[in-house]
Amino acid sequence: MTLSHFTSFARKAALAAAGAALLLGSGLNTPWLAPATASAPRAAPPVAAPALPTMRLLTQSQYANTIADVFGPDIVAKVRFAPVNRTDGLLAIGAARAGLTPGVLDPLDATARSMARQILDPGHRALFLPCRPQAANQRDDACARAFLSGVGRRLYRRAMTEAELSAAVEMAGRAVAPTGDFYSGLAFSLGGMLVSPQFLFITETATRSLGAGEGMVLDGYSKASRLSFLLWDSAPDEELMRAAESGKLESQAELRRQVVRMLASPKYERGLRAFFSDYLDLEAFDTLSKDGEIYPAFSLKVAQEAREQILRTVTDHLMARKGDYRDLFTTRHTFMSSDLGAIYKVPVNRGSQGWEPYTFAPDDPRGGLLTLVGFLAQNSHPGRSSPTRRGRALREILLCQKVPDPPPNVDFSGFEEPSARLMPARQRLAAHSTVPTCRGCHALTDPMGLALENFDGAGQWRKTEHGMTIDASGSLSQVKFDDAVDLGRTVRDEPALRSCIVERLYGYSTGRSATAGDGPFLEYLVSDLDRRGYRFDDMLTSIILSKSFFAIASAGKVPVVASNSGKDGNSHADQN
């Protein structure tokens, strides 16, 4: 059995964790995290290959969170972003390549104007304006400048250049005449900023590192943005902006202090949710529907709550309980809403609009992320379960393994069934293991997916399918299991689970796919986390505080890098 697209990094990491190459990580410490108490000599962590700076299109949640952080919860960013390509398992990487066609820009333009009007309406303007115009029906450039420079700094995530600011002030001033209102003029100018590429694209720029011979790194503002969008799914706050502007972020101690501060903030939960929404492909829930006759209890509300249940379970486990990532696949702790209770067939206070903590009993057939309705229903057909889809999701999403496309010319005669005699999935899919063109790939998916067959296409428990008792045994990497909970335990201990989360988190953090040059660093991370456990704060901190996180390819290798004053985010010269 081969996995044709299994990355060399993941393969190596899996081998390492399996004991074939323990020397990779054994005995290493993490000098940037733990006090230097170990007596054994420690090798310096490998450094990943520097890469180009990225230009990432804001995601819908980054956009909404930034607006909420800058203008408060009263200002609603009601917009649906156009989808971007999921690239190497992440929308975050697709966002660094996504183009902005007219159909993508249209709703952003409409929302920008609507929000700008809200921000400057009589009910809100006093909250945001640091001044009052001399007359409400005349231009007042000084007041406009004070407002636009402050807001622009937060929206552009750097100080506006004088040219940008002068143009914005002029625009606001010129708009006073046709509208007869200073605030309307400001709203027009602000609306423009909200649809500008400076706001919509997180554009990174590079500078020469202060450390001797250390090449290029992201400049202060770009560091702040990379950090903030990773941990908070939003633009930097005032304190982080000041640290960027003052050059303090160049100091490892200050960087560590900021990371600790940010991880302690309530905003961190947004960052965690954003990562897992991307990693687990939760976008699909926006349009997840089931056949109403076959699964009458599965409504749109249930679909949305199934997604929320996954996110609550993840954030509770990783944040509140400080749990190990791997234990998400065995945890019995989750949350229930009343609508979900109908699917799980557990008593939930029917009148409750909220969520209640819920713990599956030790003998409950459910336990772990794979047995939540969200995972089960998302990876099923509208009218029935799908062991293949579930197995494929497990391989591709959670283990970062590529299941090859099906060949086009399969002989499907072995799968045909007269509709009057519906078969249980195991029988139906038996041909997968006998038809040679099917066997290779379905061996990767079906044995895991069949272990979840006690849950139907809506994620509801069942003992039988079409009158026959379900056999939920299966295997993964030659480890056999009897049921879904057992599958969760097996996945929990699967080496690829660890290398996958590290690879995806690194890709999410940097906005690019891991390359061979990243391998040694990622292998190091895996071996280090193997030793310390996969607590999410540690994973993030290990990545952020590494020399790899802000490293940028040197001027000789890429056409982009330039000098930066640290004060002016636009003072970069193209060295192309």
Partner 1 sequence: MLIKTERPSRRQVLRGVLNGAAVAVSLPLLNAFLDGNGTAMAETGKPLPMRFGTWFWGLGVDDNVFVPKTTGAGFDLPKQLEALAEVRQHVNLFTNFNIFNDGRPNLCHYSGWVALRCGSAPSTRQSKPGQSLDCAISDRIGSGSRFSTLNLAATGRPRDSLSFRDADSMNPAEISALELYQKVFGADFVNPNSASFTPDPKVMVRKSVLSSITEQSKALEQTLGAADRARLDQYYTSVRELENRLAMQLERPPAAPNCKVPGKAPADMPIGLDVERVAARHKAMVDLLVMALSCNQTKVFNVLYSDSGSSLTRNGQEKTHHGYTHEEAMDSALGYQPNASWFVGRAMESWAYLIKAMAETPEGDGSLLDHSLLYAHSDCNLAKTHSIAGIPMFTAGKLNGRVKTGLHIDGKAEAGTRLGYTLQRLFDVPLASWGTQSMETARELGEILV
2, 37, 287, 434: residue in contact with partner 1 (rule CB under 8 A): 287
**How many helices (H) and strands (E) would you count in the chain?**
24, 11
482 binding partner 1? (CB under 8 A): no
Residue 395's alpha-carbon distances to 6, 445, 496, 552, in angstroms, are: 10, 7, 9, 32
CB of 330 to partner 1, least distance (A): 31
Show contacts with partner 1 in window 189-228 (CB under 8 A). 189, 191-193, 195-198, 200-201, 203, 205
Sequence-ordered alpha helix ranges (H) in 477-557 = 484-492, 495-510, 519-532, 536-544
471, 558, 563, 567: residue in contact with partner 1 (rule CB under 8 A): 558
User: Which residue, 94 or 236, has its beta carbon nearer to partner 1?
Assistant: 94
- With contacts defined by CB under 8 A, name the span among 269-277, 310-318, 416-424, 510-518 that binds partner 1: 416-424
297 binding partner 1? (CB under 8 A): no
User: Which residue, 217 or 318, has its beta carbon nearer to partner 1?
Assistant: 217
Contact 378, 393 (CB under 8 A): yes
Q: Is 67 helix (H, G, I), strand (E, B) or coil?
A: helix
CB of 554 to partner 1, least distance (A): 14
CB of 244 to partner 1, least distance (A): 17
296 binding partner 1? (CB under 8 A): no
Give the integer Cα–Cα distance in Å for 150 and 167: 15
Contact 564, 572 (CB under 8 A): yes
171 binding partner 1? (CB under 8 A): yes
Give residue for tokens 């940097």. 510
Phi and psi at 351, nearest 5°, equal: -80, -15
CB of 267 to partner 1, least distance (A): 28
573 binding partner 1? (CB under 8 A): yes
- With contacts defined by CB under 8 A, name the span among 361-369, 402-410, 473-481, 513-521 that binds partner 1: 402-410
Give the integer Cα–Cα distance in Å for 13 and 15: 5
| Burial of 291 from C-beta contacts in 10 A (0-12 / 13-18 / 19+) | middle
345 binding partner 1? (CB under 8 A): no
Give the integer Cα–Cα distance in Å for 495 and 141: 61
Which amino acid is present at 527?
Answer: S
User: Which residue, 37 or 419, has its beta carbon nearer to partner 1?
Assistant: 419
Contact 534, 524 (CB under 8 A): no
Give the integer Cα–Cα distance in Å for 350 and 341: 9
- With contacts defined by CB under 8 A, name the span among 158-166, 315-323, 440-448, 467-475 that binds partner 1: 158-166
Beta strands in 292-399 (DSSP E): 333-336, 356-359
- What's the DSSP call for residue 458? T
379 binding partner 1? (CB under 8 A): no
Q: Render 239-298 in DSSP notation, one character per residue.
A: HHHHHHHTTGGGSHHHHHHHHHHHHHSTTHHHHHHHHHHHHTTGGGGGG----TTT-TT-
Which amino acid is present at 284?
Answer: A
Residue 297's alpha-carbon distances to 359, 374, 382, in angstroms, are: 22, 14, 13
Give the integer Cα–Cα distance in Å for 199 and 77: 14
CB of 229 to partner 1, least distance (A): 17
78, 174, 242, 462: residue in contact with partner 1 (rule CB under 8 A): 174
Give the integer Cα–Cα distance in Å for 459 and 456: 5
Show contacts with partner 1 in window 82-141 (CB under 8 A). 82-85, 87, 94, 97-106, 109, 113
277 binding partner 1? (CB under 8 A): no
CB of 166 to partner 1, least distance (A): 9
Show contacts with partner 1 in window 421-440 (CB under 8 A). 422, 428
- With contacts defined by CB under 8 A, name the span among 285-293, 333-341, 368-376, 540-548 that binds partner 1: 285-293
User: Which residue, 106 or 482, has its beta carbon nearer to partner 1?
Assistant: 106
Q: Is 154 helix (H, G, I), strand (E, B) or coil?
A: helix
Tell me the two tokens of residue 276: 């897992």
Tell me the two tokens of residue 502: 């590290």
544 binding partner 1? (CB under 8 A): no
CB of 188 to partner 1, least distance (A): 5
Show contacts with partner 1 in window 33-72 (CB under 8 A). 52, 55
43, 406, 433, 462: residue in contact with partner 1 (rule CB under 8 A): 406
Show contacts with partner 1 in window 313-342 (CB under 8 A). none
- With contacts defined by CB under 8 A, name the span among 226-234, 351-359, 417-425, 526-534 that binds partner 1: 417-425
CB of 507 to partner 1, least distance (A): 15
- With contacts defined by CB under 8 A, name the span among 36-44, 160-168, 306-314, 544-552 that binds partner 1: 160-168
User: Which residue, 159 or 263, has its beta carbon nearer to partner 1?
Assistant: 159
CB of 509 to partner 1, least distance (A): 19
Residue 565's alpha-carbon distances to 198, 208, 505, in angstroms, are: 19, 10, 31
289 binding partner 1? (CB under 8 A): yes
User: Which residue, 81 or 524, has its beta carbon nearer to partner 1?
Assistant: 81
Contact 61, 277 (CB under 8 A): yes
460 binding partner 1? (CB under 8 A): no
Contact 527, 499 (CB under 8 A): no
141, 254, 269, 291: residue in contact with partner 1 (rule CB under 8 A): 291
